[in-house]
Structure 1
Amino acid sequence: MSQAEIPFLFVRGGTSRGPYFNRADLPEDRDALTEVLLSVIGAGHPQNIDGIGGGVAVTTKVAMLSPSDDPNCDVDYFFAQVAVEERLVDYKPTCGNILVGVGPAAIEMGLVQPTGDRTKVRIKAINTGATVEATVETPGGRVSYEGTASIDGVPGSSAPVGLSFLDVVGSACGAFLPTGKLREEIDGIEVTLMDVAMPMMIARAADFGLTGYETVEELDANRAFYDRVEPMRLEAGRRMGLGDVTKSVTPKIGLLSPARHGGAISARYFMPWNCHPTMAVTGSQCLAACTLTPGTVADGMGVIPNEVPALMKIEHPQGIIEVLVDYAQGADGFQMKSAGLVRTARLLAKGAVMVPGALLEGHA
């Protein structure tokens, strides 16, 4: 069997990593694209042994970049979440951690030209329609990966990548509160269904008999919890207008508890069939918005900063993620304007990934 080469960059973005492709190097047909990505990752095996996936959801993510047709953006970012043990690719969600690497990767690919010591890259998230401005360190016209910025969940330090998220409210479901309710019940549990950067079903950990401070390993070993929460998630997807989400990773699940280490709130984020080792960038925005909004399941639990924009510190299994939220609170309720974060990225490898040649037949 002959093999074919596909140029790629292997990048850590935030606390995730995966291959970044030029969209032009991949099949346009969605079914053919799916087969290529399944092969690249090695989906269908718990260790992704026949691909470059890492055996967990944060290492089976794919970014595909192309010049943007939007006059206000530089590059389009198309995301794919590839399953680990199933031969399944989900194109519905986006990923904020992988998005951290989009600016550096776009410059490395030549899709965006550096403009000085710092280069602003305007990114269109194709999956959701959101616009994100990334600020990348480019001294001497080259992407720098060295610096003093650090994030919990990643060892060492690197150059900062600043992100400003715009147009994130209702990007998937069409509304901040897709059902129009601040709180509602599913299977006897109070939840808030919210769409800010990522559609989520958010609940209090205590309502599931949890402290909310469990480790990732403890939560993933608690199969009774997953058996209870998955039917609730499916119902949440239906109520949010997402249809049958049996094979989709959205909506995601968030569990909240009071902060213990000086943060605004403590959270566990589920992807949704296992617990995130740290915290998703998109999910952090939704959880921050939920905490700031009176009347949600977070009401009375969070520590709300007095300043606006509010620096929301969300505690997660390996530390804290900080989200700067610009918002207004008035007669019309909570109105989110933008969210900003500082993360890091690093180019790990580049070259060509090999796939069976038959998967690229007909694609020049």
Structure 2
Amino acid sequence: MGLLRGHWYRGGTSKCWLFSADDMAAHAGSREEIRTLLADAFGAADARQLDGVGGGTSTTSKAAVIWPTPGGEADLDYLFAQVGIGDPSVELGSNCGNCATAIALYAVQSGIVPPAEGITRVRMRNLNTGAVLSGTITTPGGSIPTSGLARVSGSSAPGVPVRLSFHAPWGGSTGAVLPTGSVTNEIAAAGAMLTATLVDAGAPAALIPADEAGIDLSSMAGNLSGHLPTLVEARASAGLMMGLRKPEDPPQNAVPKVGVIASPGNYIAADGRPIAADSHDLRVRMLSMLTPHPAIGLTSAVALTLAAALPGSVVAKALAPAHAPGPGVPRLLRIGTPAGVITTEVMTDENGQVTEVALHRAARHLATADIAVAQTAELPA
């Protein structure tokens, strides 16, 4: 096999390998061939991903294939891939906002979207879920940014500022914001029934009260090892109820996202910093593949934000009291995560429905490389 050209970016708190569709087509045509190629390129079969370009963690084992779509609904389409760690699997069932942040910067730096005077807006369609996102980048005088001073919780490294927006309609994976039609459901996990809000916005997610799962969010420094089997079982049950898989299908590790929610309170971040109760509106820990997420995925943050707007949801019940703004007026939701507090900006229409969720992120180009892909690994059926 010839060399595969890839572009390595940091987007928010993730690292993503980005591939142009033309470069990928020289090696893989179908989605199955893309899955096999990425598993080999990342060295997915090895937990350290030693013989590939993967980073050995769920937040650094990601890729996207990008198709320019001039004149279309968006400026580009992209297929997101979550690459396995320790097994040669590649899941194509979800989206990643941090990678979308990187894709927006890549689109400007590669010429897919020419820089405009002042600001440049990149519209992106996620082929996995049908979701439409936009990334807004400052381009003074039509210049292309290569560095910046923007920082995000979970990374001390600066980058080019990117305002990333997720746009309605929601329910791209299942067809509805509430796939079961109910604001809460009972799901089976570890021999118990847990209350959950199953929501599809940004990504499908199952959100569970932390106290029901027996998880204390006064400290987010632990690895949740004793609770992982329960959360993994909850994901499997939620996936069936949301129609993301059939009973005969094996559970997926990437979707639905699963997390535990608690009301605001003083807590210790993963790096040992104390986080005050008045700095956030709720607390959350999410699962990323089979390990706790070190911060929060942006698609999970969007799901959380939409759930917060649904009266009676697990998230709405955990929220700190706040003044609700009028229709069309943006409001902020402050989310306490293991990496600190992140904020989503919420826009609503005249009926109070959420039409856009935006986050301020940062991205940086790390490298462009020709990847020598190892021998093909056999993907699980």
TM-score by length of 2: 0.87
Q: Where do residues 257-296 of structure 1 align in structure 2 (5 Å cutoff)? A: 257-260=262-265, 261=276, 262-296=279-313
Opposite residue 37 of structure 2, the aligned amino acid is V
Distance 2:334 2:183 in 1: 22
Structure 1 partner of 2:23: 25
Distance 1:324 1:108 in 2: 26
Distance 1:60 1:319 in 2: 23
Distance 2:200 2:86 in 1: 28
Q: Which runs of 4+ in 1 moved over 4 A?
A: 356-359
Judging changes above 3 Å, is the alpha-carbon distance between structure 1 residues 140 and 40 closer, same or farther for their aligned structure 2 residues?
A: farther
- Cα distance per residue 1:173-195 (max 9 Å; x no partner): 10011001111211321111111
- Cα distance per residue 1:309-348 (max 9 Å; x no partner): 2211111001111111123596xxx732111111000001
1:61 and 1:82 in contact (8 A); partners too:
yes
Opposite residue 110 of structure 1, the aligned amino acid is G
Structure 1 partner of 2:212: 207
Structure 2 partner of 1:362: none
Judging changes above 3 Å, is the alpha-carbon distance between structure 1 residues 69 and 248 closer, same or farther for their aligned structure 2 residues?
A: farther
Deviation at 1:125, TM superposition (A): 1.1
Deviation at 1:67, TM superposition (A): 1.0
Tell me which of 253, 258, 272 is aligned to 2:258.
Answer: 253
Deviation at 1:299, TM superposition (A): 3.4
SS at match of 1:36: helix
Tell me which of 223, 244, 251 is aligned to 1:218.
Answer: 223
Judging changes above 3 Å, is the alpha-carbon distance between structure 1 residues 60 and 272 closer, same or farther for their aligned structure 2 residues?
A: closer
Distance 1:29 1:293 in 2: 39
Q: Where do residues 180-191 of structure 1 align in structure 2 (5 Å cutoff)? A: 180-187=181-188, 188-191=193-196
1:4 and 1:357 in contact (8 A); partners too:
no
Deviation at 1:231, TM superposition (A): 2.3
2:239 and 2:251 in contact (8 A); partners too:
no
Q: Where do residues 236-251 of structure 1 align in structure 2 (5 Å cutoff)? A: 236-243=238-245, 244=249, 246-251=251-256
2:36 and 2:376 in contact (8 A); partners too:
no
Structure 2 partner of 1:131: 132
- Cα distance per residue 1:216-261 (max 9 Å; x no partner): 5431x32xx2222322221211111111451341111011011233
Structure 2 partner of 1:227: 229
Opposite residue 48 of structure 1, the aligned amino acid is Q
Opposite residue 364 of structure 2, the aligned amino acid is R
Deviation at 1:74, TM superposition (A): 0.8
Judging changes above 3 Å, is the alpha-carbon distance between structure 1 residues 21 and 159 closer, same or farther for their aligned structure 2 residues?
A: same
Matched, 1:61 2:58: no
SS at match of 2:107: helix
Structure 1 partner of 2:334: 313
After the TM superposition, which of the residue ranges 119-128 and 27-36 deviates more from structure 2?
A: 27-36
SS at match of 2:29: coil
2:75 and 2:113 in contact (8 A); partners too:
yes
Q: Unpaired runs of 5+ in structure 1?
A: 360-364
Matched, 1:48 2:49: yes
Structure 2 partner of 1:198: 203
Structure 2 partner of 1:109: 110
Distance 1:23 1:166 in 2: 24
Opposite residue 12 of structure 2, the aligned amino acid is G
Deviation at 1:273, TM superposition (A): 1.5
Deviation at 1:168, TM superposition (A): 4.9
TM-score by length of 1: 0.90
SS at match of 1:4: coil
